[in-house]
Amino acid sequence: MLIHTVQIAGLTRDLPLFEVASGVKIAVLNIMGDVPLIQACADAFAEKLAPIFFDFIVTPEAKSIPLAYALAVKMDRPFVVLRKSYKSYMGDVLQTQTISMTTGQLQQLILDEKDKTLVSGKKVLLLDDVVSTGSTLNGMRDLMKKANATICAEAAIMTEGDQEVWTDIISLGHLPVFTTPSS
**Is 142 inside any structural domain?**
yes
**Is 50 inside any structural domain?**
yes
**Is 17 inside any structural domain?**
no
**Is 178 inside any structural domain?**
no
DSSP string across 87-120? -GGG-S-EEEEEE-TTT--EEEEEE-HHHHHHHT
One-letter amino acid at 154 equals: E
CATH number at residue 93: 3.40.50.2020
How many distinct structural domains can be found in the chain? 1
Angle between helices 65-75 and 35-49 (to 10 degrees): 50
| pLDDT at res. 105 | 73
Hey, what's the torsion of the CAs at 157, 158, 159, 160, to 10 degrees? -150
**Is 55 inside any structural domain?**
yes
Q: Containing domain of residue 50, as a range? A: 31-173
**Is 180 inside any structural domain?**
no
**Is 65 inside any structural domain?**
yes
**Is 86 inside any structural domain?**
yes
3-state secondary structure of 137: helix
| Strand ranges inside the chain, DSSP E | 3-8, 11-21, 24-27, 56-60, 79-82, 94-99, 106-111, 123-131, 150-160, 170-171, 174-175, 177-179
Mean pLDDT by 10 residues, the chain (183 residues): 92 93 90 95 97 96 93 97 89 83 76 94 96 89 96 96 89 91 61
| pLDDT at res. 32 | 93
